Amino acid sequence: MESKPRSSRTRKTAATDKPKAPRATKPRASKASATAVAEPPAPTHEQIAARAHELYVSSGHQHGREQEFWLEAERQLKAEAK
């Protein structure tokens, strides 16, 4: 088997290459911080309780709807925070 002749052009070897200066790079944001949008803090227990009480009073003091008032209060407060 015959080997192919090498090209007359040769690459510089590592010994003859000039040392390269380090490249300046921008600090990269982590994927989490780059893609995540800061969400407003969740409403506190006290805020939800106060709003649920307002809903209870505005409903004419209807008993048995505590969970409904609580969930509605939570929904309203989250919507207001956005």
pLDDT at 55: 98
pLDDT at 60: 97
pLDDT at 18: 67
Give average pLDDT by consecutive 10-residue segment, the chain, 82 residues.
60 61 68 68 96 98 97 97 88
What would the DSSP string read from start to end of 26-82?
Answer: PPPPPHHHHHPPPPPPPPPHHHHHHHHHHHHHHTTS-TT-HHHHHHHHHHHHHHHH-
pLDDT at 24: 72
Task: Determine if the pTM surpasses 0.75.
Answer: no
- The tokens of 51 are what? 């709003």
Q: How many angstroms separate the CA atoms of 20 and 73, rounded?
A: 63
pLDDT at 40: 84
